[in-house]
Structure 1
Amino acid sequence: MTKDVIALTPRMPDVWALLAGLYAGGPEARVTAGSEGAVLRLCAPDGRPLVSVEAPLLVQVPGEAERLLGRAVPVPFWWTEARATGAVPEAERLAGSVCGRLALLLDGATWPEQAAGTEVVDVRATVAPDDGRPVVDVLTDSTSVVLADRPVLALTTWLSEVLRGTAESGRALQIVTPPHVRLSAPARATLLQVPNRWVVQDPDQGYYDGLTGAVLRWRDGTFAPALAPDGTASVAEAFGRTSPSDDRQLVVAFRTTLPAHEDVVLGEGLETAWRQLTGAAPAGWGTAEPVNLPWSTGRLTELARDRAPEPTHLIVAGHPDRPAQAWIRVTRTTAGLEQDVTLNIGYGKGETPPLEAIAPLAESLVAEHGLTTMLTSVRRASRDLVTAPVLQAPPVPVAFTLGARDVREIGLTHTRRPPVGVRPVVLGPASEPALHYPLGDGSDAGALVELQHLAAHLRAGVPRTGAGG
């Protein structure tokens, strides 16, 4: 199993500290770089990757260490992550020695504490060719398999690099964890994408899919559903071990389109939603987890501009007292700059999602931020926004908003007469109206059917040559 070790230090790992850490492999070890220098690989003399070390990350967002590791660490601090392949016994000690040396030199600590060391690890006996990829545990023609065991599996820089590499090679990514591991919201969204998979190893029942519950078997170099003679997949008993909870999540997924002007500022629509739903701005943003940078729409825009015309993927975090997390995809299209945003906010017992704020939020996004569409839902899920490998009810729609551009393309008469019980509310000026469709309060699953009827009705009105949603 891949072993993760993290150095948490109040001082920056400078060049000399990093050299001391990397020298844990002795003079025979080789160092290669990946992900544009963001990930270093400590290799055996023959080139086999043994340990990947992410570039030190200055975390300035409160609560990230506690969210991901269960350990409170005052900000700012430096997060340096090392990951050892489970295929070589010496690799785990090597990762512990890399981080242990950094913690010793910089007055910090390691996670987990017992992994820390400072000894030089002899890597000369390890043999295997270097395939140039980040450390994975099993690599087949169709699949990259990573074995992980940490409190929260997050979308780290290293995992993003693995995803990129597997996609470029035409492989699927399958992450195998024990049943106590939880997924962060961005990691869950990533593993929901076909052909990726979260594989849970249950000590009593074997392997199953942590998001669908399907019983899995290792076959032809990949984990695949174990099918019955009639072709149906069975669901693991462990997947149904749920317990009643009052926790809920408010999920707001929306798209905005802005003109591609030089002075355009990205992220303002998300900040508006965050403020109206939580009473405060986001705490921070970044390209991976842990989220490390203080919230700034200006810096966010600069990064997206530097990466254009390639899409930019970002993660946004809230303050510890109100669990909230979002991810953004910025894309340049013929219509302008599109921002696809999913915002999750957690609520516990005695806390009520502010559904009364959804219609005013839709109106603000329409008037000021070029809203194209917005779907708001409520689901029974953990307040801390992490996902356990058990059955979860689907999100129940609360409202759907259609922006002025799509209303115009489909036609106002058609869009104002949907086959649902609630009439739409007109937003914006009469000359360019948007429509807001209330669907319920998130407690009646019948709203799913209402949403399906509404979506089918709107699709039927899209002109064949139109570009409407």
Structure 2
Amino acid sequence: MTKDVIALTPTMPDVRTLLAGLYAGGPDLTVRTTADGAVVQLCAPDGRTLLSVEAPVLVQVPGEVERLLGAVPALPDGPVWWTEARASTAVPEAEQLAASFAGRLATVLDGTTWPSQAVTTAVVPVPSGTDAPPETEGIPPAVDVLTEQAAIVFQDRPVVAMTSWLSDALRTAITSDRALQIVTPGTTRLTLPARAALGGHPHRWVVQDGEDGYYDGLSGAVLHWQGDSFAPARTTSAGTPVAAAFADRTDSGDRQLVLSLRTRHPADEHLVLGRALEAAWHHITGAAPAGWSTAEPVNHPWTTRQLTDLARRRAPQPTWFTVVGHPDRPALATLRVTRTTAGVEEEMTLAVGNGAAEDLPLGAVLPLAEALSAPEHGLTSMLATVHRARRDLTVPAHIEAPPVPVSFTLGPDAVQDIGLPHARRPPLDLLPAPVGPTARPALHYPLGDGTDPQTWTALRGLTHHLRAGS
């Protein structure tokens, strides 16, 4: 198990400052690097890892620290350097060592720490030997336990984000044919990118619960440790019980407008990615995105050019991005760019949070469909749904109502492939609105106002009809 501590400083920690922090354990400890030099590890005399420190990240996007950590006392104004350390709790002194490391950086560089109590600068003596079992060779810094079936990560944070640590753990799990299992307290919430990563089999969010022991934070299934991973408990009737804590929820009235978009573009040197997402952001929130990154915290100010350059360098491998909005208007998107035989495809999901007293921007969806139907956006499809979920766009460990469809838009090329006469006459009480250029229109199908779950039936009927024509 590990404990995370973060130093937040207005100045980048240089080598001398980092070394001063690492000497919090005294002169007998050793230092090594891993992850191609991106992680520095402080080790006990017997070779056991005590502390792993990731390379500092400059977070230039306003509100990003608060989104992931909550209110942080004495947080410096403006951009901050985020230096994260993970302490192994296999050695009791390691957690104090992490606090001293972060406290020294904050003291020297006029910054602060998260958690705020991690402000000590004292030297932490570490015993020369421990009773813990030998460390397994090749375990990434983010993984606490590696078994034949699972890579297990313990996180004691208010919000678990898709950090580079967690991305590394997920990559390790996938490449070794294991499940990623993240174990958290019941009060922890996931960001939408972390929830998307854990939403596919066999990965799992394992929530600690005093009544039922453990349960799955996304399905509510009671879990037991079986063999070398967490798995659903079985009753005598072969069913899986659901934890009482998962079903315990109160509807706050918060809602999210969620847009799922797909685009396709010819692969040429003039292509700029992210423009469809930027257009959606403007129509729904009235502003451009604030920042982008390949992990959380999101640290780069928004720019379609740099995003495109990175995706081009990584091609033909896919690239996955997280995009965030400004703090006063909760909005977050994931964007996956893939090179295919048909061209370059973008798959994106944009979620915008609304409080109980705020109006959902449903009136912006049709104008957005019109704008995205322009040839330069390459729209394939767009599904708009309303989700009764938190305004801050985090996912709690309890049941949430499923999203409800609002509209579906079929892009111009897809309409041509299906045939305009067939696409505009579904066998339902739906009247699609043609949008975009008259010669090659897209079709926008209104489904409802986001309050009637029966619109899923209409959507299924529509998609069945459209597939029959393709």
Instruction: Provide TM-score, normalisation by structure 1.
Output: 0.94
* Poorly superposed stretches of 4+, deviation over 4 Å: none
Secondary structure of 1:124's counterpart equals coil
Q: Which residue of 2 aligns with 1:7?
A: 7
Q: Which residue of 2 aligns with 1:364?
A: 371
Say if 1:7 and 1:79, in contact at 8 Å, map to a contact too: yes
1:196 offset after TM fit, Å? 0.9
Determine the C-alpha separation between the residues in 1 that align with 2:457 and 2:98.
Answer: 51
Say if 1:41 and 1:134, in contact at 8 Å, map to a contact too: no
The one-character-per-residue Cα deviations of 1:225-280 (angstroms, maximum 9, x if unpaired) are: 11222322111111111112210001011011122111211111111110111011
Q: Which residue of 2 aligns with 1:466?
A: none
Q: Please, which runs of 5 or more residues in structure 2 have no aligned partner?
A: none
Determine the C-alpha separation between the residues in 1 that align with 2:313 and 2:21.
Answer: 32
Say if 1:179 and 1:389, in contact at 8 Å, map to a contact too: yes
Match of 2:394 among 375, 383, 386: 386
Q: Which residue of 2 aligns with 1:411?
A: 419
Say if 1:313 and 1:328, in contact at 8 Å, map to a contact too: yes
Residue 443 of structure 2 is aligned to residue 442 of structure 1: no
Say if 1:32 and 1:43, in contact at 8 Å, map to a contact too: no
Between 391-400 and 408-417, the greater mean CA deviation after superposition: 408-417
Q: Which residue of 2 aligns with 1:192?
A: 199
Q: Which residue of 1 aligns with 2:271?
A: 264
Q: Which residue of 2 aligns with 1:131?
A: 137
Secondary structure of 1:37's counterpart equals coil
The one-character-per-residue Cα deviations of 1:384-430 (angstroms, maximum 9, x if unpaired) are: 11111111000001111111222222222332222332121122334
Residue 104 of structure 2 is aligned to residue 101 of structure 1: yes
Distance change >3 Å, CA 209–CA 263, structure 1 → 2: same
Which residues of 2 match residues 255-334 of structure 1 at below 5 A?
Answer: 255-334=262-341
Q: Which residue of 2 aligns with 1:77?
A: 80
1:82 offset after TM fit, Å? 0.7
Determine the C-alpha separation between the residues in 2 that align with 1:79 and 1:51.
Answer: 16
Q: Which residue of 1 aligns with 2:34?
A: 33
Say if 2:373 and 2:437, in contact at 8 Å, map to a contact too: no
Determine the C-alpha separation between the residues in 2 that align with 1:254 and 1:41.
Answer: 41
Determine the C-alpha separation between the residues in 1 that align with 2:298 and 2:341.
Answer: 31
Which residues of 2 match residues 68-217 of structure 1 at below 5 A?
Answer: 68-72=68-72, 73=75, 74-118=77-121, 119-122=123-126, 124-126=128-130, 128-135=134-141, 136-217=143-224
Determine the C-alpha separation between the residues in 2 that align with 1:221 and 1:460.
Answer: 46
Match of 2:360 among 341, 353, 359: 353
1:80 offset after TM fit, Å? 0.6
Say if 1:49 and 1:130, in contact at 8 Å, map to a contact too: no
Q: Which residue of 1 aligns with 2:345?
A: 338
Say if 1:54 and 1:157, in contact at 8 Å, map to a contact too: no
Say if 2:96 and 2:124, in contact at 8 Å, map to a contact too: no
The one-character-per-residue Cα deviations of 1:310-350 (angstroms, maximum 9, x if unpaired) are: 11111111111100111111111122111111101000021
Q: Which residue of 1 aligns with 2:43?
A: 43
Secondary structure of 1:356's counterpart equals helix
Amino acid at match of 2:52: S
Determine the C-alpha separation between the residues in 2 that align with 1:270 and 1:54.
Answer: 31
Residue 55 of structure 2 is aligned to residue 52 of structure 1: no
Determine the C-alpha separation between the residues in 1 that align with 2:294 and 2:207.
Answer: 27
Distance change >3 Å, CA 366–CA 178, structure 1 → 2: same
Between 441-450 and 301-310, the greater mean CA deviation after superposition: 301-310
Between 150-159 and 23-32, the greater mean CA deviation after superposition: 23-32
Say if 1:29 and 1:45, in contact at 8 Å, map to a contact too: yes
Q: Which residue of 2 aligns with 1:423?
A: 431
Distance change >3 Å, CA 264–CA 27, structure 1 → 2: farther
Determine the C-alpha separation between the residues in 2 that align with 1:299 and 1:186.
Answer: 21
Secondary structure of 1:431's counterpart equals coil
Say if 2:139 and 2:146, in contact at 8 Å, map to a contact too: no
Secondary structure of 1:253's counterpart equals strand
Distance change >3 Å, CA 121–CA 184, structure 1 → 2: farther
Say if 2:44 and 2:126, in contact at 8 Å, map to a contact too: no
Say if 1:29 and 1:123, in contact at 8 Å, map to a contact too: no
RMSD, aligned CA = 1.7
Determine the C-alpha separation between the residues in 1 that align with 2:442 and 2:38.
Answer: 44
Say if 2:373 and 2:441, in contact at 8 Å, map to a contact too: no
Say if 2:29 and 2:43, in contact at 8 Å, map to a contact too: no
The one-character-per-residue Cα deviations of 1:426-466 (angstroms, maximum 9, x if unpaired) are: 2233432321111111011111111122222222333xxxx
Determine the C-alpha separation between the residues in 2 that align with 1:378 and 1:123.
Answer: 55
Amino acid at match of 2:393: L
Amino acid at match of 1:294: P
Instruction: Provide TM-score, normalisation by structure 2.
Output: 0.94
Secondary structure of 1:341's counterpart equals strand
Distance change >3 Å, CA 106–CA 422, structure 1 → 2: same
1:121 offset after TM fit, Å? 4.0
The one-character-per-residue Cα deviations of 1:275-305 (angstroms, maximum 9, x if unpaired) are: 1110111111111111111111111111112
Distance change >3 Å, CA 359–CA 149, structure 1 → 2: same
Say if 1:28 and 1:123, in contact at 8 Å, map to a contact too: no
Determine the C-alpha separation between the residues in 2 that align with 1:391 and 1:216.
Answer: 16
Percent identical: 59
Residue 396 of structure 2 is aligned to residue 395 of structure 1: no
Amino acid at match of 2:366: A
1:11 offset after TM fit, Å? 1.0
Between 126-135 and 160-169, the greater mean CA deviation after superposition: 126-135
Determine the C-alpha separation between the residues in 1 that align with 2:119 and 2:275.
Answer: 43
Amino acid at match of 1:252: L
Determine the C-alpha separation between the residues in 2 that align with 1:37 and 1:377.
Answer: 43
Secondary structure of 1:104's counterpart equals helix
Amino acid at match of 2:14: D
Determine the C-alpha separation between the residues in 2 that align with 1:27 and 1:424.
Answer: 72
